[in-house]
Each structure stands twice: as C-alpha cells, then as structure tokens.
Amino acid sequence: MAVSLGLEDVFIKYTGLTFIDGNAGVLRYRGYDINDLVQNTGFEEVCYLMTNGELPNSQQLAEFKKSVKEHYKLPDHVMELISDLPREADTLTMMETAFASLSSGDYQWNKENDRKQVPKILGENLGIISNIYRHKMGMGLQNPDPKYDYAEAFLRNCFGNADEKKISAMNAALVIYVDHEVPASTTAALVASSTLSDMYSCITAATAALKGPLHGGAAEAAYKQLLDIGNVDNVENWFKTNILDGKRRLMGFGHRVYRTYDPRMKIFKKLATTLEQTDEQKKLFEIAVKLEELGVKEFGGKGIYPNTDYYSGIVFNEIGFPIYMFTTLFGFSRVLGWLSHITEYVEEEERLIRPRAVYTGPDKRDFVKIQDRK
Ligand SMILES: CC(=O)SCCNC(=O)CCNC(=O)[C@H](O)C(C)(C)COP(=O)(O)OP(=O)(O)OC[C@H]1O[C@@H](n2cnc3c(N)ncnc32)[C@H](O)[C@@H]1OP(=O)(O)O
Ligand SMILES: O=C([O-])CC(=O)C(=O)O
C-alpha cells in the first residue's frame, strides 16, 4: 500500500479560488494574476472577489467595506481576554485564543449565512490582530476607527498614524497573503470544517498549523537568519558553515509547489525598496540579496528558490512591525483564504476528511497483566 507522506501530490478538493503553476511561477486568484491584483486593488476588493467570485463595482465595494466596518468593534469579552493574556505569549497563540473565544459552538453551516459571516469575521480580525500588537507593546486596547479602510485602520490602530506608502505596502502584503490553495494551514481548516465544526474553530485550527517554521513561521526564521549573519561580508562564510557544512535548511527557501521563484517573493523584494529604509534595514536587505544569490546558485538546480516569506519580514519591519508580528500578519490576511476554502468545501462538496494510515506495529500479542510484566 502506498502512503503519500506529507500528502504530497494528493488533491483533496476542487477549487475556483486559487490557481498555481509551480513550474512557471504563476499565481492567480479567481483567474486574476497576483501582480495585477497587487497593483490595482486593495484588500477589501480582493476579499469581495474571493467571497463572491467577481470583482465588485464601486457600489458593491462600498457596501462590502461598510459591512466590514460595522464589525471593527470587538466584543468586550475578547478585549478583556487579550489584555489578560501574558504579554510574553507568542502572537499566534494570542490569535488562536481570541478566535476560539468567538466561537459560540452552535453555528449551523448554511449557504445563505456563510457568506454573510465573512465581513463580520474580517472586521473582528482587524480588532484582534491590532489589539494583539497593542497588548504586546504594553498599550491599552482600543477598537479600530471605522472612518478608515482596512489597511489604514489597522496601521492607525497599531501606530496611531499611517502614511500613504505604508498603507499601500500593507494593502499589498494583505493581498499577497490572501490565499495559496491548500497549504498546511488551509488543510487544517478544511479538516475541521469537514466535521461541520464552526468557522471560528476552523480558523483556530488553521492558525495552529500556520505557526511552525516550515509554513508561516518561516517569515520570522528567514529574518532571524539575516540578523544572525549581521553583515554582508559574512554571508558567504555563514552560508558555508550553516547551510552547506551545517546541513541546515535555508529558511524562506523551498516550496512544495513552486519549482521556480515564488511570484509573491518578487513583489515583496520590490516593495522592500519602495519603502524608506533605515541604515539597519538597508544592511539586512543587502544581506538578503547576497544570500538569495548564493541560495539560488546552490539549490536552484533542485528547484529550490526563495518563497514568499523570504523578503516579507523586511517589508513588515519597514512598515514598523517587530519580528514577533510577522507570522501573525500572514495569518491576518490568510483568515480570508481559510474562510473562502472552508465555505467552498462545505457548500459544494462536503465530505468528512478522514484518511487512513498503514499499520506497521506488532502483530496480535497476548495481554500481560501488570504484576507479571518484567
Ligand atoms: C508560506 C510558506 O509556507 S512557504 C514555505 C516556508 N518554509 C520555509 O521557508 C522553510 C524552509 N523550507 C523547507 O523546509 C521546505 O522547502 C518546505 C517544507 C517548505 C517544502 O519542502 P518539501 O516539499 O516537504 O520538500 P522536502 O522537505 O522533502 O525537501 C526536498 C529536498 O529539498 C531540500 N530542501 C528543501 N528546502 C530546503 C531549504 N530551504 N534549504 C535547503 N534544502 C532544502 C531537502 O533537504 C530535500 O533534499 P534531499 O532530497 O537531498 O533530502
Ligand atoms: O502553499 C504552501 O504550501 C505555503 C504557502 O506558500 C502559503 O501558504 O502561502
């Protein structure tokens, strides 16, 4: 019996959401190329596209934004819960806890209602992630201001202000991370949804799977590599000692689907240079470029190239976020992708996800009572 370890090349659903050509480095949401979407749309527009199948006209977009803004205010119990969490807890654990606390446990899947939950959950998501940041920074918690659209309201709730370049970069990052077919986190959400669990619990399951360094956690790990290298003159020596001789994985490199450059990585790399860089950020960017060169030279032949998480940390840091927020910012956007996939799955092809395992343990054995065991 053949086992597909890591479910490699196993197709678990049909989808009209996201198309990836891993050999050509192409990514499309509902048929639209990621580059076109990043250049021409904002996060809410892409959320509408994913949720409803078509790009909105101006009136539809205004109504969608309004329905998200109505939910910027978090329920009091979630605010209290976030402020009671230990500040040293990691931000993804905080995200899991906050989403789990919103689950009433009695939600019934329903084709009509499911789509209506999306603006509500997006609004709550903004309150949750910005307040996780505020809590980590020791600031009092506060609800985002519904005067502003998503990316701007988020930055303002975190930093108290937001300039055009940063709002635009935040929007781009949100669009880039919206969806990626069925990675580990989305699969975790799908497994939970296939039991007819509720949407909030599915997000909690997905967030747990996003956390690890082989998936969303790579953004933090990739950035820490740059800090560890410290100077562009150390790149070659660090690469030889740690990656070639030390047999460590180059973080932010490699992907289950892409065998070439991840198209999102190219956008993040460009974004990193459009934002203002401090001397330290300039230095880290230079290190990243040199390391990318060595990594592609060494691993490109095996189809291992930089992925979306390679430069995203640099961009998030230039926007103003510390390392501990990077993966949570990925999740902040991906909540929409998780919701899109679970509603598509439950509404169109719901079937319990329950794979099998090939048993390799001992044959039947006689039971030995505890007093007779050696
Ligand atoms: C947003 C995202 O989630 S993108 C992914 C983010 N994760 C990372 O950046 C972490 C680093 N990358 C990795 O660990 C891997 O590339 C993964 C987990 C992303 C995908 O890996 P898989 O498809 O499971 O491939 P697998 O782990 O089997 O690796 C295949 C081969 O490539 C090598 N390889 C894969 N990634 C890397 C890497 N980053 N550095 C060095 N070698 C690598 C493996 O050592 C293995 O080599 P071998 O065949 O000689 O043993
Ligand atoms: O597709 C994957 O396995 C991981 C990834 O790039 C993502 O989730 O954005």
Model pLDDT for residues 140-165, shown as the tens digit of each residue: 999 999 999 999 999 999 999 999 99
What is the spatial distance between Cα 371 and Cα 374, in angstroms, rounded to a whole number? 8
Q: Which residues pair with 20 in a beta bridge?
A: 27
What is the spatial distance between Cα 178 and Cα 127, in angstroms, rounded to a whole number? 18
Query: Which of the listed residues 182, 214, 261, 302 should we mutate to test ligand 1's pocket, taking the one with most ligand atoms within 8 A of CB?
Result: 214
Q: How far is the CA of 322 from the centre of ligand 2 (A)?
A: 22
Q: For ligand 1, is residue 254 a contact (CB within 6 Å)? A: yes
Atom of ligand 2 nearest to the CA of 309: 6
What is the spatial distance between Cα 296 and Cα 113, in angstroms, rounded to a whole number? 47
Same CATH fold assignment for domains 14-209 and 218-319 = no
Q: Confirm if 40 and 171 have CB atoms less than 8 A apart.
A: no
Q: For ligand 2, is residue 256 a contact (CB within 6 Å)? A: yes
Does the active-site annotation cover 309?
yes
In a 13 Å sphere around the CA of 260, the CA atoms on its Cβ side amount to 10
- Which parts of the chain register pLDDT below 50? none
Atom of ligand 2 nearest to the CA of 20: 1
Task: Give the residue carrying structure tokens 């499309």.
Answer: 28
- Write down the catalytic residue from 135, 180, 309, 341: 309
What's the pLDDT score for residue 105?
64
Give the residue, by CA position, lying nearest to ligand 1 atom 14: 214
What phi and psi, each to the nearest 5 degrees, are found at residue 196?
A: 70, 30
What is the spatial distance between Cα 240 and Cα 149, in angstroms, rounded to a whole number? 46
Does the active-site annotation cover 145?
no
What's the pLDDT score for residue 106?
65
Comparing C-alpha atoms, which of 290, 295, 311, 271 is closest to residue 232? 290
Q: Residue 248: nearest ligand to its CA?
A: 1
E-strand ranges in the chain read 18-21, 26-29, 32-33
Comparing C-alpha atoms, which of 172, 307, 186 is closest to residue 251? 307
What phi and psi, each to the nearest 5 degrees, are found at residue 92?
A: -75, -35
What's the pLDDT score for residue 22?
97
- 218-319 CATH: 1.10.230.10
What's the pLDDT score for residue 288?
98
What's the pLDDT score for residue 206?
98
* Helix 91-102, helix 111-136: angle, nearest 10: 140
What phi and psi, each to the nearest 5 degrees, are found at residue 18?
A: -130, 135
CB-based burial label for 359 (10 Å; 0-12, 13-18, 19+): exposed
Query: Which of the listed residues 179, 210, 249 should we mutate to test ligand 1's pocket, taking the one with most ligand atoms within 8 A of CB?
Result: 249
Residue spans per domain, the chain: 14-209, 218-319
User: Could you report the per-residue pLDDT of 91-126, keeping only the tens digit for each?
Assistant: 999 999 999 999 876 677 887 788 889 999 999 999
For 208, the token pair is 């747990």
Q: How far is the CA of 85 from the centre of ligand 2 (A)?
A: 29
E-strand ranges in 291-362 read none
Task: Give the residue carrying structure tokens 């993040």.
Answer: 268
Task: Give the residue carrying structure tokens 């909030």.
Answer: 200
Comparing C-alpha atoms, which of 20, 26, 40 is closest to residue 175? 40
* Helix 218-229, helix 279-299: angle, nearest 10: 110
Q: How far is the CA of 112 from the centre of ligand 2 (A)?
A: 29
Count of CB atoms situated within 10 Å of the CB of 316? 26
- Write down the catalytic residue from 255, 262, 341, 372: 255
Give the residue, by CA position, lying nearest to ligand 2 atom 7: 180
Q: For ligand 1, is residue 255 a contact (CB within 6 Å)? A: yes
Q: For ligand 2, is residue 308 a contact (CB within 6 Å)? A: yes
What is the spatial distance between Cα 22 and Cα 15, in angstroms, rounded to a whole number? 16
Yes or no: is domain 14-209 CATH 1.10.580.10? yes
User: What is the ipTM, given to two decimal places?
Assistant: 0.98
